[in-house]
Structure 1
Amino acid sequence: MAAAACAGEQAVEKQLKTWGFKSNVDVLVLYLAGQGIRSIPSLSRFRRLRYLWINNNKIQDLTFLKKNYCLTELYLNNNELTDVSGALNHLHVLQILFLHNNQLGKLGRTVKELKGMISLQNLNLFHNPLAQERDYRLYVIHFLPSVQLLDRKVTQRERESALHLYNHKRSAVVHSIAFGRRVNKPLVTIVRSRRHTQPAKRLVMPSGSGFGKGKNREPFENPEDAILQRAMTRSLMEFSCLDWNKVATCQERRLENKAEEPHEKLTVKFR
């Protein structure tokens, strides 16, 4: 055990000498890959460490990472890890984490350890026993929503399937009020000009209109009523246009060659 720790310490010191670091605060990168290391001494003295490669070794324990809060990229693939509980949950700014080709066997415990990584985008877990569990990808995608690459690219269809599987109630709500759904109810339009005025149609709100605005008294039975309610609570927008062909130019006004006609202004309001 002492020999293994000594080998890890020697590997760290060799890297410091190779890169010419004179102070621990200057160490942002450590490359310790492929050296057959079984144990690594605490790296807590490198408080600003951001990039760490310790892949292709024989690492079984990650307690040496407990003080490295600034890590953004961590490569732990091709080691002998069986559990990461309590070793990674403090790495809140981590963006890339490679854990493939290890012996991680508990999907729930592993994902729970990674939940605090709100910036995590690239995660590799393939060639671990947990990757053989049923709905492995959907489980990780649902509980780690920031991940864009899970062994491969995460698709929108996978996200929808994960939401349907692990939060069916929310999935139903999302599908019922999706903005892309076709609605047969016409929008309210107001057209006004000097010559003609068309009054707006008055819409009768559905019985579920108490839903929203912090009330949440009752949900809508008909999804189209929810869409209508949302449309009616949007901000009112107004667009106006003028037929400039009927407006005399400055030159025409001076020469009085063109009779002045009433100006027609078209205004459209909608939500």
Structure 2
Amino acid sequence: MAAMIIEEQTQKRGYKTDGDVSELYLGRRGLKEVPDLSRFRLLKYLWLNHNKISKVNFLGNNFRMAELYLNGNKLCDITGSLKHLTSLHTLMLNDNRLTDLQATVKELKGMTNLRVLNLFQNPLEQDPGYRHCVIHHLPSVQLLDREHVTQKEKEEAFQLYNPHRTAVIQSLGFGRRTDSVLGSRPAAQSSTAHRSSKRHHDTTSNSDGTDAMTLEDKVLLRGYQRSIMQFTMFDWNKIPVSRLKRSEEKSMETPQLLTVEFR
């Protein structure tokens, strides 16, 4: 049945060879399976929405795919079926049966051109922090579930999935290294205790055996501490010009040096 529909589509659009086929509309045809579409090497736009498809195993060599509409099907898992489609910029997976959020974002993680993504009306949408998870793992997505991804959401996702780096960045903004996210340290802590805990933190490891600070954080911290520039110059307002030197009888004051430091 699907093969007949495909032939009907190619004839209707006037395609003479498989290499001419750039788009196929197979939506709302009650399809449960789709034949291998690898022969259409230049296929870029494919509509398979509102069918009964449960597996995506027919796009093995369609690397030029730009828009793929699989919404309204019976997909439970897409692992290993879409990750090679790195040219995709629009992907519709809404209204399916996808349950594993981590497996889904892992499959789509290599799609650096992906701009529009729909995952709503899937069970995975109920996962706590669903939207932040997708935004963090798929940073190229600009429109998620019909809503624009905002800068605030990106920052929240970064803080949620990078708490240690967030703490480092925030603490460096105040000229010191802290052990936790800004605002979480009790206010009544002496400076001596802080310096002691800082030295201990910088030279020891966590209980699980990992370094408390990553190498990148240490380099960033050291660079911040040493990135001081000092300029010394004359106060030229007090340097007399040659005409004043000849006209003045009293000796001139020794010019002062001005020193300025920049961090």
Determine if the TM-score, normalized by the shorter chain, exceeds 0.5: yes
SS of the residue aligned with 1:60? Answer: coil
Q: Who is 1:21 aligned against?
A: 15
Deviation at 1:175, TM superposition (A): 3.8
TM-score by length of 2: 0.67
Which digits, 9 at most, give the CA deviation of each residue in 1:24-69, with x for residues without a partner? 1111111111111111100000011111110011111110011111
Q: Indicate how the Cα distance of structure 1 residues 226 and 50 shifts in structure 2: closer, same or farther if over 3 A, else same.
A: same
* Identity %, equivalent residues: 47
Rounded Cα–Cα distance in structure 2 between residues aligned with 1:19 and 1:10? 14
**Would you say 1:170 and 2:168 are equivalent positions?**
no
The runs of 5 or more residues in structure 1 that have no matched partner are 1-6, 182-213, 234-269
Q: Indicate how the Cα distance of structure 1 residues 9 and 177 shifts in structure 2: closer, same or farther if over 3 A, else same.
A: farther
2:109–2:137 Cα contact (<8 Å) kept:
yes
Q: Who is 1:34 aligned against?
A: 28
Q: Who is 2:149 aligned against?
A: 154
2:41–2:63 Cα contact (<8 Å) kept:
yes
Rounded Cα–Cα distance in structure 2 between residues aligned with 1:218 and 1:61? 47
- Higher RCO by CA contacts (8 Å cutoff, separation 6 or greater): 1
Please list every run of at least 4 consecutive aligned residues from structure 1 whose deviation after the TM superposition is greater than 6 angstroms. none
| Equivalent residue letter for 1:166 | Y
Rounded Cα–Cα distance in structure 2 between residues aligned with 1:110 and 1:118? 15
Q: Who is 1:134 aligned against?
A: 128
| Equivalent residue letter for 1:163 | F
Q: Over the residues paired in the alignment, what is the CA RMSD in angstroms?
A: 2.9
SS of the residue aligned with 1:109? Answer: helix
Q: Who is 2:224 aligned against?
A: 226
TM-score by length of 1: 0.65
Q: Who is 1:251 aligned against?
A: none
Return the match for 1:65 from 55, 59, 63: 59
Q: Who is 2:177 aligned against?
A: none
Q: Who is 2:44 aligned against?
A: 50
The runs of 5 or more residues in structure 2 that have no matched partner are 175-214, 231-260
Deviation at 1:174, TM superposition (A): 3.9
1:82–1:104 Cα contact (<8 Å) kept:
yes
Matches within 5 A, 1:115-130: 115-130=109-124
Deviation at 1:220, TM superposition (A): 3.6
